[in-house]
Structure 1
Amino acid sequence: MAVSASPQTLQQIAAHARAGRLDAAATLAASAWVAHAGDPVLAGLAGAVEMHRGQYARAADYLTAALRARPDDIAARANLAECLFRTGRAAETLQLCDAQSARADRSLRLARLGGALAQEAGDAPRAIELYRIVVAEQPEDWSTWNNLGNALSDVGDHHAATAALKKALALAPDSQPIRVNLGNSLMEVGEVNEAETLLRDAALAVPEDPAPLLALHGLYRRAGYDTAAFEALRDAAGRAPQDAALQSEFGLEAARINLYEDAERAYETSIAIDNGHAPAYVGLASVYERVNREADLEPLRARAIAVGIDGPPIDFIDALRLKRAGRNDDALVALERAGDVVSGAWREHLRGLMLDRLGRYDEAFEAFEAMNAFWRDDPSDPTGRAAKYRGGVAANTAILTADWVRTWKPFDPEPGDYPAPIFLGGFPRSGTTLLDTMLMTDPTTVVLEEQPFIVEIEQELGGLAGMAQADAAVLAAARALLRTRCRAYQADAGHGHRRQAAAPYQSGGGDPPAFSRGAVRACNAPPV
């Protein structure tokens, strides 16, 4: 049985500590410990002194002895938890922060610390239980309300999360992280307009912060607003010009909507910031494959290896190189080695192509089915959007009758010195891709492929139903707008889905004829 230190010794140690003479208190405590090792009162006092001196490892030794002798000593438990945390022993810290002890700790250190560590460890239910202890005692603690909201989001209780985050924001209305967290939570409960307003206000409030724009990007992606999503991520990347990961993410978004020149520029920016950022090399390889620049894969591979990149990123580049060389067996092996360096949808798309070329048609079909399964789970809800699209086609089909067409206002266009657009209509696998690829080699043409000019102009006219009300002036303006967009597209040649630069039209001057594809596709290529 340990011999307790005398009350006088304990009082002397405490007096030194209260007077701020922590070194003297620590020296006296250490001397007393030699004679009275195991005394829980001395251990607790010595541990508190060493903790306030910043000697957390030494304090932890004392406090462990104190708690071993008195497991119900909440002060010693809370001090030990803090010391263990500060020495990087998170798992041991969390073990001390059980709910019963946290409720008994009037300082709330166990509840706060345990909640944060539980959340970090992925134990959201435990974090929620501990955070609730804090806000029940200190309802003005906006930081814990925020953490509670995030933990509730982690378990899918988005309505409760939204309520907690609203309380946090009411207590700290200028907190940018809370604004963003609440915006994300509002999205989850379907309050999209409120979320958008909150996030836009947050983006304006702190012009250098990319976080609100990143949240807006997620909102627009889920809503299927590709242009707005792209613009939000572009602006976020502009706010963090030295963030290699964000520049690479912007490249991924640009490639997803077929803006390959923007994607290439973003990936190169990412590499310039951090030449070891492997996702940027993978993204560049995907861009080269999509725009038929496979010849650039070999130099890209050399660049990556030169800075020490190896493993799956190089395997992915090799898969594309070998596919280009017709070595599909080897390409497939390399792709399997690459693992998940690209999205599941893009990986299965490439697998399907390779298996198809190898004559393994059943496996290719399975790969394409897997690709579609990944794509259906995309946050933009392509299945719902497809249903909406089909509904629009059905509605327009019902409108388009001979009687309705006879209600159109007459229009006799003025002759112009420009060629009429030419439309190629077809269905999937009917050869339209081959035709437009051939036409791209003709310097007297501009191939628009699947640019949405016609659809956009139709929408500006009020949709198909609005065509009957369009008079000569409106239709002439629409035709002029189409020509303007075609010219802009030509001037920006190289910036689009397999776009090739077109030489100036030489046959008699004026604009080259524009070819637009009318083939229907199930979806664009899946995102990387």
Structure 2
Amino acid sequence: MPSSADLSARMLAAYQGGDMATVLALGEHAADADDTMLLLLGAAQQSLARLDDALATFGRLVRRRPDVPEYWNNLAVVARGLGDGDTAEQALRRAVALAPHEAEIHYNLGLLYAEQQRWLLAREALLEAVHLAPGFIDARLQAAHACHVCGDNSAEEAMLDGAGHWPPQPAEQALKLATMLATQGALAAAFDVLDKAILPAGDDARIARLRIAARRAALHERNNRTAEAQGELAALPPSALDALAADQQGLRSEGWSAHAAVAARLGDLAGATMLYQRVLDHAGEADVRANAAFGLAAALDKQGRRDEAWQAALAAHAAQWEIARDIVPELLADGSQPLAMAGHRVGPAEHARWTSLSAPGGRESPVFVVGFPRSGTTLLEQMIDAHPDFRSMDERAFVYELTERMNLAGQAYPAGLTAMTQLEANQLRAIYAGLAARVVPDLGGRQLVDKNPLNMLCLPMIMRLFPEARIILCLRHPCDVLLSCFMQSFRSPAFMVMCSSLQRLAEGYVNAFEQWLGHVEVFAPRVLEWRYEAVVQGFDEHVAWLGRFLEVDDASPMARFAEHARNKGYISTPSYAQVTQGIHGKAVNRWHAYRDMFAPVLPTLRPLMQRLGYRE
């Protein structure tokens, strides 16, 4: 009989030569296998998809050597392949305890959690893997995806830094990466990723090509390129989708959804309704059901089928509730505050104690466009961005990020604003400028436009850093705002929770405006109130009024915002399609068709409606 050393050497040579059958023959009949032999045997069994055998082999190995983290990691990978999540998690946690600085182990733990849709834990583990190995591209991609699901836009963007230069990705990863890059506004990079995707072998390549075509169509539609979307879908007709095998429901749903979105854009509302309903009848994943239900609600609403539209919206929110339950469980409790920033307030006495600081003037400061979501902020942003003197950076949470930087530095926001030094203020402005420069490196001499509706909750930070800034508050009838929010899909988990019922929405709306109105009294900022209904009735005079507020000589380019929006490409908000259509009054008093639904929340809204100058 050969010695253990000779047998190990022969097994290693066979393994390196790809001869897994010989590895099995030598290893399975070894009377006294050493660690190396067991490791090679388990790897060969795993390679040949004999996962039950591999699990037993690696189990034997960790019992023999419980102090070796790599063995626990191997056991976990096989257990995950068998769908044994409990064993995989226990093994990976043991491996992390033994080797806390090993990025690969954190990565595998993150993949397990992502597979289980435990997204907060997945995000934590994957970000740790990237922290330990910044050049670990697979970990960066998966961490970005976990951040994307959790609504952590800043971390997602950081993980994707330089992604346009990553090597070609396997098709599954390429689909994720392209979607995230498009969300960041990097559409050309997104299509490049799809073009270079590495396809699997055999018939799976055909399925991958169809999935890529469906994703390309969806990206084109999302970027107001309807004709290009139609071109992609020509290779993916509904009949071909219907003929797919039963295990291709994901592809089928994505294809139907893309066809439905294009049909709705072209006015084929009956066709869109049928396709969205088909997705709902077959989809299992909560995010797929939510998106389809929101699309169905919009198509039904445009057909005047209000009761059915409302039921579809309720189904969409029920699906989003499932998503939020795993990401922000603390917000599902009664009395929770999804808009946490609304609880931060600065009173007159506190403001009076602020140290005196020098600050940029109005022309050197950004123009801030604020207001509750669905109040017309995107429309106004595109109007200003159409003027050559201004440059918008789409919707970014940079002001929020400054408040987080303060908290991380041990200066609680907003209390830390009181004793802020000149150096600290300059540092925060420099951070803000750096963040903006990554998005609009071509700003040049143009004035920055920072449109983020809920920056209205960060007025103390804005006033501390840019006290002379011009701020435009977008207003729209509160009931129209709430209806539009209720009928729209938001990626933010906190917003998913707040928009899940009209009552939560009404309370969130009131809390946001009570804070805003209180801060306006304290700070007396340079604010223009921009009422959607008045703009619809007198567009030209409001364009001139806006020009005077922004101190521009010729405001006429702002009137051509729709053309500008059509040429702009990616617009991150749900209004991406509406702003390309120009000014119309279809959205004014839209809530009247749903008046019965609003009866329970009117008592909550009524006092604020009166303060804002709106009637029922």
The TM-score normalised by the length of structure 2 is 0.50
Task: Determine if the alignment matches structure 1 residue 160 to structure 2 residue 90.
Answer: yes
Q: 1:252 aligns with which of 157, 179, 184?
A: 179
Cα distance, 1:319 vs structure 2: 1.6
Distance 2:61 2:430 in 1: 65
Residue by residue over 1:86-113, the C-alpha shift from the partner in whole angstroms, topping out at 9 and shown as x without a partner, is: xxxxxxxxxxxxxxxx9xx98899xx78
* Partner in structure 1 of residue 446 of structure 2: 511
Instruction: Give the unaligned 5+ runs of structure 1.
Output: 1-53, 57-78, 84-101, 494-503, 505-509
Q: Is the contact made by 2:226 and 2:262 (CA closer than 8 Å) also made in structure 1?
A: yes
2:221 corresponds to which letter in structure 1? E
2:266 corresponds to which letter in structure 1? A
Q: Is the contact made by 2:171 and 2:198 (CA closer than 8 Å) also made in structure 1?
A: yes
What is the aligned length?
A: 400
Residue by residue over 1:259-309, the C-alpha shift from the partner in whole angstroms, topping out at 9 and shown as x without a partner, is: 13x24522333224469633333333333333333243223334x459x98
Which deviates more from structure 2 when the two are superposed, residues 402-411 or residues 292-301?
292-301
1:319 corresponds to which letter in structure 2? A
Distance 1:477 1:177 in 2: 36
* Partner in structure 1 of residue 225 of structure 2: 293
Distance 2:32 2:215 in 1: 53
The 5-angstrom pairing of residues 15-414 of structure 1 reads: 132=59, 135-136=62-63, 145-150=72-77, 151=79, 154-157=84-87, 160-162=90-92, 165=95, 180-181=107-108, 197=128, 200-201=131-132, 203=133, 210-214=137-141, 216-217=143-144, 220=147, 225-232=152-159, 238-255=165-182, 258-260=183-185, 262-273=186-197, 277-302=209-234, 304=235, 312=252, 314-337=255-278, 343-378=288-323, 381-384=327-330, 390-394=339-343, 396-397=344-345, 400-411=346-357, 413=359
* Partner in structure 2 of residue 94 of structure 1: none
* Partner in structure 1 of residue 396 of structure 2: 451
Distance 1:139 1:472 in 2: 56
Distance 2:303 2:189 in 1: 34
Distance 1:443 1:512 in 2: 9
Residue identity over aligned pairs, in percent, reads 19
Q: Is the contact made by 1:445 and 1:515 (CA closer than 8 Å) also made in structure 2?
A: no
Q: Quickly say closer, same or farther: Cα 1:473–1:139, change in 2 above 3 A.
A: closer
Q: Is the contact made by 1:186 and 1:195 (CA closer than 8 Å) also made in structure 2?
A: no
Q: Is the contact made by 1:253 and 1:263 (CA closer than 8 Å) also made in structure 2?
A: no
Distance 2:97 2:351 in 1: 57
Q: Is the contact made by 1:320 and 1:331 (CA closer than 8 Å) also made in structure 2?
A: yes
1:281 corresponds to which letter in structure 2? A
* Partner in structure 1 of residue 420 of structure 2: 470
Residue by residue over 1:55-79, the C-alpha shift from the partner in whole angstroms, topping out at 9 and shown as x without a partner, is: x9xxxxxxxxxxxxxxxxxxxxxx9
2:267 corresponds to which letter in structure 1? G
Distance 1:114 1:488 in 2: 45
2:400 corresponds to which letter in structure 1? V
Please state whether the residue corresponding to 1:343 is helix, strand or coil: helix
1:181 corresponds to which letter in structure 2? N
Please state whether the residue corresponding to 1:408 is helix, strand or coil: coil
Which deviates more from structure 2 when the two are superposed, residues 291-300 or residues 482-491?
482-491
Distance 1:217 1:372 in 2: 25
Distance 2:433 2:365 in 1: 9
1:269 corresponds to which letter in structure 2? V
Q: Is the contact made by 1:449 and 1:516 (CA closer than 8 Å) also made in structure 2?
A: yes
2:263 corresponds to which letter in structure 1? L
Please state whether the residue corresponding to 1:451 is helix, strand or coil: coil
Residue by residue over 1:235-278, the C-alpha shift from the partner in whole angstroms, topping out at 9 and shown as x without a partner, is: 678554253432221112234xx313x24522333224469633
Cα distance, 1:325 vs structure 2: 1.3
Q: Quickly say closer, same or farther: Cα 1:155–1:329, change in 2 above 3 A.
A: same
2:339 corresponds to which letter in structure 1? R
Cα distance, 1:322 vs structure 2: 1.2
- Larger Rg: 1 or 2? 1
Residue by residue over 1:387-422, the C-alpha shift from the partner in whole angstroms, topping out at 9 and shown as x without a partner, is: 67534431x13xx11111111123465657x26544
Please state whether the residue corresponding to 2:86 is helix, strand or coil: coil
1:333 corresponds to which letter in structure 2? M
Residue by residue over 1:296-355, the C-alpha shift from the partner in whole angstroms, topping out at 9 and shown as x without a partner, is: 3223334x459x986535544322221111111112223345665983333333222222
2:295 corresponds to which letter in structure 1? L
Distance 1:329 1:407 in 2: 61
2:154 corresponds to which letter in structure 1? T
Q: Quickly say closer, same or farther: Cα 1:287–1:469, change in 2 above 3 A.
A: farther
Q: Quickly say closer, same or farther: Cα 1:254–1:349, change in 2 above 3 A.
A: farther
- Structure with higher RCO (Cα < 8 A, 6+ apart): 2
Residue by residue over 1:463-511, the C-alpha shift from the partner in whole angstroms, topping out at 9 and shown as x without a partner, is: 3222212345654665676567667655559xxxxxxxxxx9xxxxx53
Please state whether the residue corresponding to 1:514 is helix, strand or coil: strand
Q: Is the contact made by 1:161 and 1:185 (CA closer than 8 Å) also made in structure 2?
A: no
Distance 1:132 1:484 in 2: 51
Distance 1:483 1:235 in 2: 20
Instruction: Give the unaligned 5+ runs of structure 2.
Output: 1-18, 200-207, 243-251, 457-484, 493-571, 573-616
Distance 2:99 2:450 in 1: 53
Cα distance, 1:197 vs structure 2: 4.8
The TM-score normalised by the length of structure 1 is 0.57
RMSD between aligned alpha carbons? Answer: 5.4
